[in-house]
């Protein structure tokens, strides 16, 4: 069995859980099912697209992606997903 050292934040969460500060959400099984479906949909990449954008737009997209700590293509896909989901 591997031993993992908990971070200070993880130790605080564990302490709060043991103290009973967290409560199970209503419809727990439904929420878990929805979260699993969302995770599956997030990872389900089945189409590629090519778009033409300006160098300035691409530079801005890459800059924002660095700020978010994610690849710029992931950020672009996320923005498009949010736009069509609203």
**What pLDDT shows up at residue 19?**
94
Residues 62, 69, 85, CA angle at the centre, nearest 5°? 75
Instruction: Give the tens place of pLDDT for each residue, 15-72.
Output: 999 999 988 889 999 999 999 988 887 777 777 889 999 999 999 999 999 999 999 9
pLDDT at 10 over 80: yes
Q: Residue 16: how many CA atoms within 13 Å on its side-chain side?
A: 9
Q: How far apart are CA 29 and CA 35, in angstroms?
A: 10
pTM recorded for the entire structure? 0.48
């Amino acid at each position: 069995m591997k031993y993992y050292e908990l971070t200070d934040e993880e130790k605080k969460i564990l302490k709060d859980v043991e103290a009973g500060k967290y409560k199970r959400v209503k419809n727990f099984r439904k929420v878990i099912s929805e979260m699993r479906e969302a995770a599956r949909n997030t990872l389900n990449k089945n189409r590629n697209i090519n778009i033409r954008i300006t160098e300035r737009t691409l530079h801005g997209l890459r800059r924002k992606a660095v700020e978010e700590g994610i690849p710029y293509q992931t950020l672009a896909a996320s923005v498009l997903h949010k736009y069509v989901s609203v």
